[in-house]
Structure formats: C-alpha cells, structure tokens
Structure 1
Amino acid sequence: MALMNVMTAFRTLRRWGRHAVAASAVVPALALCACSPKEQKPTVKPPVPVVLAKVERKTIPVQIKAIGNVEPYATVAVKAQVSGEVVNVHFTEGQDVKKGDLLFAIDPRTYAAALKKAEANLSRNLVQARNARQDAERYAQLLTEGIVTQEQYEQYRTKAEAFAADVAADRAAVENAKVELSYCTIRSPLSGRTGNLAVHAGNIVKANENPPLVTINQITPVYVTFAIPEKDLAEIKHRLASGRLAVEAIIPNDQGPAEQGTISFLDNAVDAATGTIKLKGIFENKGRRLWPGQFVNVVVTLASRADAVVVPSQALQTGQSGPYLFVVKADTSVEVRPVTPGITHEGLTVIEQGVAPGETVVTDGQMRLTPNAKVTEKRPGGAGVSPPEPSKRP
C-alpha cells in the first residue's frame, strides 16, 4: 500500500515537470515578441550615376553615304603590233611615263628591209608607168592622124592605166611598210603609271598577243565608282540638273582630309537585282592618295538642314514600342519619352518629334534606369556628383 502511494506521487511530480518546461519555453518567446521593434520603412534607392547631355539645335547636312571603288581615269594594255625580238625596254615597271615616251624597241631590220623592197618596186613601176603613159599619148596623136587603128591605141592606153594602178599599189605598200616599221618602236599612248612588266629585252613577241607587254593607268585624275539606293535617285537628278554635285572620298584608316570631287556620271538604268544605280565621281587626285582598286567611303552632300533638334546618338534607345529617350525632369527623376529619330551625322541624331531644345537626356547608364528613377550626373572620373550639403549656422 505504501508502495502504491509512492508511485502515484512520482507520476504527479512528473506531470508537473512537463508543464514547467513548457512554461519556461513560452516565457522567453513572449519576451521576444514584446521586445521586437516596429516594422521598418522601405529604404530609399540612391540616385543612379549617369552621363547627361542637352538637346540642341544645329545645322545638319543631308548626306548619302556609300562604299566606292577607285578606278583609273584611263587604262591602256600595251601590246606589240608586229612580231619580233624585243631589243630594249626603256622604262622600269611602276614608273611614271608621259604620253609619247618610248617604252619598247623591237628589232626593226626585217621591216626596214621590207620598206626598201616596197620603195624599189615603186621606183621600177614609176619608170614603166611613165613610159607607158608616153606611148599612150603618142598613139593618141597617131590615131588622130589616121596612122594607127583604134585597137592599137586602146592597147597602149590600157597598158598605161595598168602601170598607173601598179604604182598606186606600190605607194600603198610603201606606206604599209613604213607603218609596220614604226610599230617597232612602242611609245606610251597616255600619261600615267606603268604596271607589271610582262616581257624583257631578248624575248620574242607576236603581234596582238596576250598578255599585254605592260598596262598603263592614268591616275590623275581618277574615278570613284559607287552605287546609291533607288529612293535617292530623284534627289540626285534634281541636284545634278541644278549644277555640279560635290562628292567626298574618305580613305579608311587615313588621318588625312577627305578627297574632294564632283559627280561626273549617272548610269542610264537602275539595277533591278539590287535596287541601286551606279554613279561616278571624278577627283583630281593631285596627291595620289586614291589608288586604282582601292575601296573608300563616299559621302554625297545633298543639302543642309538648319535648326535641327539633335541629341547624341548614344542617347537613343530602342524598345518594344520603338525608339525612346530617358529625359531628366526637374526633380532629377527620369521619364521614358518615345521619339521619332531622323538622319544621323558625326555622332548626332536628328529627333523629328518627342523632345525640345534645352531638355536633358541620358547618354550613358541607361541599363540601370527605370521610369521615375532618380539620377545624378557622373564626374569626369566616373563618380556621381553628390548634392551640396546644407549650410550650418554657428
């Protein structure tokens, strides 16, 4: 019995112990809830450092840009017109030559002999023709006196005319021999620069054989050929009808100024495959900066647009709704402003509609911006310009 009482007392104490542990766990939790601070306010985002620029008014040229290819003003492939041995070359490849300069000498002996033979045949036939003419004149007199018959006279007259024809043929043969002999000295047909020399002294050449002996290109002046879109044809025709149309050729990776020229040729048809039309500009090329076969950037200035509203081209962004700008408001926050861009020139883009001169736009740092975000202008070193601290009175 005593043992039963002890067991009952032990179970009672055990239940009281569990309730005490639970109570001890609840008390600290209530204390933490009582001591927790009030709900915190959301933190204010700092201004985003950006690069800013003012919207301005400027005069912007209206231009057409294209890729052009330099072509020689004239090019001549020099070939031999007679066959023979090249006995002398009077220039070095890559040399500048003038019109009429001696280039090649071909062995002239065969052609000189042919000329002498033609001249000898002419001399012989001249004598025979003179005698035949005299006989014909004498028989004409005898015919009038009735001494000879008409048939006899006709024989001598025909003989005289035949010799006269032989003389004419001999004269032509002499002229042909002189021409062929002159072909033994090959002279430059134009002023220009020689190219690769295909034959040297001692080689045998044939008349009109390929490849040419040398090719000469005239590079002062020079042409630049390029193509423009069909949509610009009407404006080009209008400008050409009004007078000379200037064109510039800019040499890539060349720090020098652009070469100045004028449009000299407009093709007579639009290329249906590409929708472009071919033009040529002529350039004096006094400094020989333009070289045949070279590619250049071509700029045709059609007109100038005064008081155009412009922004730096890097300020323009493109979204799903089209082009837009981040415009800074008076409270240094930004708004997204849809705009209508126009032509570009030297890093500036004309804005047809959307902003006004004097407004401020973001040109760098747009990736971190959202509508109504605050901005601060970057220092030249890259840090943002902090707002001035309020003055403190003593």
Structure 2
Amino acid sequence: MHKKKNSVIAIAVLVALIAIGSWFFSRPTEKKISAPTAVPVQVIKVVEEDVPRYVTGIGSVLSPQSVVIRPQVDGILTKLMVKEGQQVKTGDLLATIDDRSIRAALEQAKAQLSQSQAQLDVAEVDLKRYKLLTVDNSISRQQYDQQQALVNQLKATALGNQASINASQVQLSYTQIRSPVTGRVGIRNVDEGNFLRVSDAIGLFSVTQIDPVSVVFSLPQQMLPTLHELLAASTAAKVDAYLGEGATGALLGEGKLTLIDNQVAATTGTIKAKALFDNAAEKLWPGQLVTIRIQTALERNALKVAPQVVQRGIDQHFVYRVKGDSVEVVPVKVLYQDSDLMLISGVNVNDVLVSDGQSRLKNGVRIEVVKADAADTLAQTATAPAGAAK
C-alpha cells in the first residue's frame, strides 16, 4: 500500500514538471524593436541679399611704356649715372658718351660761320655802293648783278654753316642719354668704357613704366555684348587682378575697364580687353600672368546658399530641406554659381537646408543637426580602425 502511494506521488511530480516545461518553451518571447538611427547633418539657412555677378579670365600685365636705351652716336661710354632697378623720371640723366670729337666739329662749324658772316658783311657793303653807282651809270648793270649773286651765295653759305652747327649740337645732345619715360631701370647690358655704336641692337638697358600698368585679358566672344554695356556705363567697370589661377589668390590690384579689341580672334573665339591699374605698391609686374575678375551684374534680392548645399540629380538639381526632425527633397534651379556661392530658386528665405551629410539622406529620413566640431568628431569615430583605443 505504501509502495503504491509513492508511485502515485512520483507520477504527479512528473506530470507537473512536464506541464511547467511545456509552458516555459511555449510562452511568447518579447521582440526588441530598435528605433531607426538619426543621420547627423549640418544645416544652413537660405539668405536673401543683393549679390554681384562676376566673370573671370587670364590676363597678362603690360607696361604702357617700355623703352630700350640705345646710343644715337658712336663713342665710348664714359659714365653710367643710374643703377639697376633704380626709379627714374622723364629727363633724368642716365649715361654719358665721350663728346670731344663732336665738340671739336661744333667749334669748327662755328668758325666757318664766322668766316662766312664776315665775307657776307663786306659783300653787302659793296652791294650798297654798287647800287648808288648804277644810278649815274658809273658801273655796269652786270657788275651790280654779279655782286648781288655773291651776297646771295654768302648768305647760303652762312645758312649751311648754321645748319652744321645745329647738327653738331644735336649730336652733342646725344652724348648725354636721358630717360624718355618715368619708370624702373632694368638689367644693364654694357659697362663703362665700352665703345658704343648706333648699330648695336642690344642697348644699354631698358626703362619700363611700372605705375600705372595695363592688364590685357581674353574672354569668350559671348561676353562681347556685356563688355559693350560695361564700357557704355557712366561708371567704369571695376576689374580685380589676383595672383595665380582663380579668384582665390592674393588681390594684386583694382583697376578699370578701358577698351575692347577691334576684332574677335577667329582661331579661339575670344575677344581681348584691357584694364588700367594704379600700381603704386608695384604688386603688378610687366609680363606677369594674373587672374582678372569683372563684376558684370548685380542680382537684387537673390537667394544665396553655399555650393555644397545643392546636389545634382539625374534630371535636375535639388536640396534637402529640414522638415521637423526629417528632411524632404526639393528641386531647385541654379541661377548663378562661383567657387563661394550659388544663387537658386525653388526655396524660400530662411528655409533650413542640409549643407553636409547628404550622402546618407533620402526623402523622409530622420536627422540630427550637429555643429561643425561635433560632425568632425563623428567622422573621425566612423573612420577609426577596429580595435583602436577609445
């Protein structure tokens, strides 16, 4: 009886254990649903303002006046009065040439003039006497005419002597070489003591005007109507010159548009134009290549954004506009762009647009706005190698 009772208890315990196991394995498990992760982005606001429009091109700096100093008479270079790189003004003495032979020729011409003048004075006195004698036929008319011819001959001789004097004085002036322009002296090619010839092609040195200077540049022929409008305006169009390529280098000077070339280059389809620059600081140098930028228009009440805000789609440009805690895709039209900004239409003033982090976005994606320093930290964390110390 006792043994039968133990069996019943064992069976009851086994049934209880089976029931508990069945309940444990058949109970529903809770599923963990994770919320989608927000994409970190940076944003900016659409700004409305008046924005100038520019066109850029490559130009070359030219000096309005550049003169190679050459001798105009043969002779020995006796003295150089200036140094290389020195600033000179128009009329400044640059160099001297040995003038002894020219001075001797000048003195000889003066002596010949004096001799001719003395002979002329005597001949004119005789002519007056002959004229009185012809009244009562004391001398023949032929004698009087011969004396008149002698006077005329001596006058011509005196004029020839004076011309020789003038020529010698001109030659003498050439022995003092003076600057024909205001500018800077270049590298010297000849030293003192060398014999100079008029036929020498190399010259002593050059004098080049540095202030002001001109910049000649080329633009596409499509810009010709705009250039005509700029020249016809009451205020001269402003032209900026920058160092290197693009308008991001150092500003070298600010000038004014002065003229357009009289023909388009058929081979390149470009038109040349010239601008004049004040160059007191001498930042612009003749022969230098510069980038020029001209303001061609002023867009009033334009919607301005940074270039990285606008994305290029298959058919059109678009931006990501912040809507609550997510973004929406908005098609836009690019009206003007350069390296620093874009003018667009299709959005409104003060709209908040995504400026960084667009690669992970699509319409309706949830975002988290971060600052620039926070975005840099996230980018460094995302690119850190596995196992790196935290």
Cα distance, 1:208 vs structure 2: 5.0
Match of 2:60 in 1: 69
Cα distance, 1:77 vs structure 2: 1.4
1:41-60 per-residue CA deviation (whole Å, 9 max, x = no partner) reads: 99765232222222221210
> Pairwise mapping of residues 1-394 of structure 1 onto structure 2 (< 5 A)?
45-207=36-198, 209-252=200-243, 259-335=253-329, 337-344=330-337, 347-351=340-344, 353-383=345-375
Contact preservation (8 Å) 1:55, 1:311: yes
For 2:163 and 2:377, how far apart are their aligned partners in 1? 96
For 1:100 and 1:139, how far apart are their aligned partners in 2? 54
1:16-39 per-residue CA deviation (whole Å, 9 max, x = no partner) reads: xxxxxxxxxxxxxxx9xx98x99x
Change (3 A) 1:369 1:384: farther
Q: Secondary structure at the match of 2:225?
A: helix
For 1:265 and 1:140, how far apart are their aligned partners in 2? 70
Contact preservation (8 Å) 1:378, 1:384: no
Long gaps (5+) in structure 1:
1-30, 387-394
1:83-115 per-residue CA deviation (whole Å, 9 max, x = no partner) reads: 100011011111111222211110011111111
Which letter does structure 2 place at the counterpart of 1:347?
D
1:55-77 per-residue CA deviation (whole Å, 9 max, x = no partner) reads: 22121012222222222232221
Aligned length: 352
Cα distance, 1:82 vs structure 2: 0.4
Further displaced range: 270-279 or 181-190: 270-279
1:304-357 per-residue CA deviation (whole Å, 9 max, x = no partner) reads: 22210111111122232132223333350332x332112235622000x32222
Contact preservation (8 Å) 1:378, 1:385: no
Q: Secondary structure at the match of 2:148?
A: helix
Change (3 A) 1:345 1:59: farther
Cα distance, 1:117 vs structure 2: 1.1
Contact preservation (8 Å) 1:69, 1:226: yes
For 2:347 and 2:252, how far apart are their aligned partners in 1? 34
Which letter does structure 2 place at the counterpart of 1:378?
V
Contact preservation (8 Å) 1:119, 1:174: yes
Change (3 A) 1:272 1:45: farther
Change (3 A) 1:67 1:326: same
Q: Secondary structure at the match of 1:381?
A: helix
TM-score computed with the length of structure 2 as normaliser: 0.81
Which letter does structure 2 place at the counterpart of 1:240?
L
For 2:199 and 2:322, how far apart are their aligned partners in 1? 75
1:273-293 per-residue CA deviation (whole Å, 9 max, x = no partner) reads: 333322222222222222222
Long gaps (5+) in structure 2:
1-21, 379-390
Cα RMSD over matched residues? Answer: 3.0
For 1:288 and 1:42, how far apart are their aligned partners in 2? 71
Match of 2:388 in 1: none
Change (3 A) 1:148 1:51: same
Cα distance, 1:210 vs structure 2: 0.9
Q: Secondary structure at the match of 1:103?
A: strand
Which letter does structure 1 place at the counterpart of 2:332?
V
Which letter does structure 1 place at the counterpart of 2:286?
P
